[in-house]
Structure 1
Amino acid sequence: MANASRTRAGGPLSRLLILAILQVNFIASGLEPDFLYPLENVTIAQGRDATFTCVVNNLGGYRVSGDSATARVAWIKADTKAILAIHEHVITNNARLSVTHNDYNTWTLNIRGVKREDRGQYMCQVNTDPMKMQTAYLEVVIPPDIVYEETSGDMMVPEGGSAKLVCKARGYPPPRIVWRREDGGDLISRGGPQGKTKVTSLEGEIVNLTKVTRSEMGAYLCIAANGVPPSVSKRIMLHVHFHPLVQVPNQLVGAPTGTDVALQCHVEASPKAINYWTRENGEMIITNDKYQMSEINSSAYSVQMRLVVKSIQDGDMGGYKCISKNSIGDAEGTIRLYKMELPYLKSRGEDAETNYVETNDVRSSLQGPLREGGHRAEDADSGGRPSPAASYRIAPHAIFLISALAFAC
């Protein structure tokens, strides 16, 4: 029987009875409503949902100025004095607002998909006499966004000219803008008190580049951030235009007949140039069984031109030109290919006769400032033969090594 009493005491009817008894006690005691917890400020990103929670004790048994009606909780936008809701009923014409009540002491104001105009002070008010209320602030933050119509696009400047990079962004709080090179290179700042300095980043909406060099060509990133994720960025390509420049590492190249030899030129040009090879008589060289051409990009504006002449013969000797042309100008470099004669000597073997080659250092004999058709002048005696001190013997199979070195160079 005692167990049944305990079960009934824990049922729904018992809980309602307890609430009724408490309400009678509140009426008898005359306790006034009070706030159990302070209303907390809310900071929320635009587009997300915000909630304010108001906890009021002793509300159910309080009569307003002796009236039979109990006290009510109302939500008010304090800065505009607009009544949003009373108890569980939304008053304002805003479908994004709703109010919930847990049937005891907690009222919640819900704002779905907050907008910038929702920011401001909100009040939870109880219509006691005098009125009681507490307030909290709703701050609506906005992630950064690039204003593309006010931000620079890809641009072209002549070498030595100036470039003005502009990046505009909106958001709340106002975004901070930082500039960086996409390749991680340095930015050159020339406007400070220290004159020309190299930095990894620059801050501000505008970056002024003066006396621009080809090394400053590339992609620049403007990054906008205000502490509200995500940060955003825009890529701006800076093209620096200049006429071609051709550099020839080895202007004189020597090799024995029957070997392959590689000729090289380094070209810098912007905009992109048309590069090709010719013989000294102006005949254009095309890729075939005799010639193999290739280009290797070293950077955004530099290219390594390479021409391989296969199995060179006497008719292949002479001048070769590497030519580069773009819309601004043209340039060329000249390489002279000469026949390098390798004298053969008899071996000092016991029975068989084996030919050997007397030569200087193999690499220096193939490329460099050599005289045509022979060895370096300082290594030859009056008879045109290499001095013994400057020579050594190489077996015939070393000719293949010489060929390989000629091709590698």
Structure 2
Amino acid sequence: MADDLVGWIVLSLTILRKGAFALEPSFDVPVINITVVVGKTAILPCSVEFLGEHKVVWTDEFSTLLTFDINRIIDDDRIGIDRPYNKDWNLIIHDVRVKDRGRYICQINTHPIKTKPVELNVLVPPQILNENDDGSRREILSKEGETVNVICNVSGIPPPSVKWYRRPLEDTLGSKKERIVSELDRPKDRQREPCIYTVHDEPGIGMEGEILVIHNVSRYCDGIYQCVASNDVPPAVEMETAVFVEFQPEVNLINKRISQEKGKETILLCEITAFPQALSYWMYHGQEVVSSERFKVDIYPEGKAHTITLSLRITNISEIDFGEYECFASNKLGRDRESMVLNELRKMKVNKQTTPAVVPPTTRSRQIVGLVATYRPTHARDEGESYKGLVKDFQQVENGCQSLNEKRTITAITLFFALLLTSYQFLNQGGLPTIELVLQGFKMSSIRSSVHPKDLNQPWGTILKPEYGLGHQKMTDYEIDQTVDRLYKIPATKERVYERPGKKMTEEEIAEMLQRLTKAPVEKIPDSDRRVTKSTYNEMGVVSSYAWKGYN
């Protein structure tokens, strides 16, 4: 019995050694694709279970033998086997190139052969092909009206997209850079493009493409055009192209007329926009003005592109310097000129004498009675009429004095009788004078006026020099506010509500009115047959009228 057990053990060991019950090798990692950026290291995985005495081989899509077991067969030191674990047979490729992309196959020499494919994808960042070798920007020179093609050839995997931007020539920092978009994609708060752009002859799909076409180019289309290429593989690349547009000069004068006194100094300014800038100068009486002791010509650039300012400084101006000056500019495309006039400025003689004014009164509830006496000869009136006029005048003074305080009343009456007694002294000279009394009321203000007397207690009638001259009265802050409010406020318009007078017409009245209005008119008798010979209206100038006869 013991001999049989030993025999079974020996037989089992023999079978196991011969591989009768050995497991077949297999791949434990599913099929995957590997993506790597050019220049990096790629690892293609391949893990095998129960390899036993079998061997692992790597080949490419053209069946080129790369490795056998752990040995490299191909003559490329960038390729090798990476085995972090015993079951791993990974293919490693250093410094991946574009030509390395494709399918790689991991094989086991079983019968039949077992294989596992791995796809290697290589990404390439965008690259501009027509860029200058030194990295400087390209330049394009054109004339107004021509068509300009701005080219930006790019390559990369996947194919990159190209977007266009534009900024002014004077913007060196790129702070005013704007993306060029089609009219359909233009934001509402952005102005229209000064130029017409197309890409691939399709202006409505957005400004993305390798060739930007500028149609009918003008001076407003010049600038620095920047193309930016990207394909989600960093870094993005860009290239700048400067577009210069030639055009004839334009002369613009800041002032068309200027005045200055003799012996003084003045500066004439002229703004010239042109490309290229060629010839610019000032002319006077058909001759070019050159720099001298009294004349100095300067040129300095402006902040705008292709714009300069031509200045002419004239010192110690004399009589011969007044007249018309011309600013002239020209280049190979044309010329332009503008003229301005330098006039003599004469000082006006100012009359410093001002009419004196009376110290204005104040607005308190006080009235002053002014008495004016005039004398007429005795033959104008008799004594009775003079006496009646004298009594009447006295009553006017008495009535006017009733509204005054006691002090002013006594003063006015005293003044009246003084004048009365004075007039009777002329009786021996041939007659009784007639006295006319004139009451004059003056409203007096407690607010100081524009005269500003130093002492408010000065006698009435003091003559002072006005501060603001004749015709001016300084307004107070309150008066200014009231005037502004009155002028600023728009008066509200009142809506007129129309109401038909009388009661509503009945249907019978409406029918009767229609019949009367639609009835054929009776032939009217001419006015010559209706002339009114006797009438109460003749005094009013009415001779013949339908209205007075009742026909209308």
Normalised-by-shorter TM-score class: 0.5 to 0.7
Q: Is 2:300 the counterpart of 1:317?
A: no
Greater relative contact order: 1 or 2 (C-alpha under 8 angstroms, separation 6 or more)?
1
Q: Is 2:145 the counterpart of 1:160?
A: yes
> What does residue range 11-22 of structure 1 map to in structure 2 within 5 Å?
none
The alignment's TM-score, normalised by the length of structure 1, stands at 0.67
Aligned to 1:170: 155
In structure 2, the residue corresponding to 1:335 is in which secondary structure? strand
Q: Greater Rg, structure 1 or structure 2?
A: 2
Structure 2: where are the runs of 5+ without partners?
Answer: 1-15, 169-176, 181-192, 355-469, 472-552
Is the contact between residue 180 and residue 202 of structure 1 (CA under 8 Å) also seen in structure 2? Answer: no
RMSD, aligned CA: 3.4
Q: CA deviation at 1:289?
A: 6.7
From 286, 293, 298, give the equivalent of 2:298.
293
Aligned to 2:109: 127
Distance 1:310 1:99, change over 3 A: farther
Give deviations 1:261-294, integer Å, cap 9, x for gaps.
Answer: 3322222211223323343341423276753624
Question: Using the alignment, how far apart are the partners of 1:272 and 1:190 within structure 2?
Answer: 27
The letter for the 2-side match of 1:189 is I
Aligned to 2:89: 107
Distance 1:287 1:29, change over 3 A: farther
Q: Is 2:52 the counterpart of 1:45?
A: no
Is the contact between residue 157 and residue 241 of structure 1 (CA under 8 Å) also seen in structure 2? Answer: yes
Is the contact between residue 252 and residue 338 of structure 2 (CA under 8 Å) also seen in structure 1? Answer: yes
Is the contact between residue 142 and residue 244 of structure 2 (CA under 8 Å) also seen in structure 1? Answer: yes
Q: Is 2:191 the counterpart of 1:206?
A: no
Is the contact between residue 298 and residue 304 of structure 1 (CA under 8 Å) also seen in structure 2? Answer: no
Distance 1:196 1:55, change over 3 A: closer
Q: CA deviation at 1:315?
A: 4.2
From 113, 116, 127, give the equivalent of 1:145.
127
Question: Using the alignment, how far apart are the partners of 1:222 and 1:287 within structure 2?
Answer: 51
Paired-residue identity, %: 28
Question: Using the alignment, how far apart are the partners of 2:46 and 2:159 within structure 1?
Answer: 32
The letter for the 1-side match of 2:69 is H
Q: CA deviation at 1:244?
A: 0.8
In structure 2, the residue corresponding to 1:117 is in which secondary structure? helix
Is the contact between residue 163 and residue 207 of structure 2 (CA under 8 Å) also seen in structure 1? Answer: yes
Aligned to 2:515: none
More strand by share: 1
Question: Using the alignment, how far apart are the partners of 1:42 and 1:258 within structure 2?
Answer: 88
Structure 1: where are the runs of 5+ without partners?
Answer: 1-23, 63-69, 350-387, 390-409
Paired residues, number: 314
Q: Is 2:58 the counterpart of 1:75?
A: yes
Q: Is 2:312 the counterpart of 1:303?
A: no
Distance 1:288 1:117, change over 3 A: farther
Question: Using the alignment, how far apart are the partners of 2:350 and 2:258 within structure 1?
Answer: 25
Q: CA deviation at 1:246?
A: 0.8
Question: Using the alignment, how far apart are the partners of 2:238 and 2:343 within structure 1?
Answer: 56
Aligned to 1:254: 259
Q: CA deviation at 1:103?
A: 5.4
Is the contact between residue 39 and residue 53 of structure 1 (CA under 8 Å) also seen in structure 2? Answer: no
In structure 1, the residue corresponding to 2:30 is in which secondary structure? coil
The alignment's TM-score, normalised by the length of structure 2, stands at 0.51
Q: CA deviation at 1:114?
A: 1.7
Is the contact between residue 244 and residue 273 of structure 1 (CA under 8 Å) also seen in structure 2? Answer: no
Q: Which is further off, 292-301 or 92-101?
A: 292-301
Question: Using the alignment, how far apart are the partners of 1:117 and 1:287 within structure 2?
Answer: 74
Q: Is 2:69 the counterpart of 1:87?
A: yes
Distance 1:232 1:74, change over 3 A: same
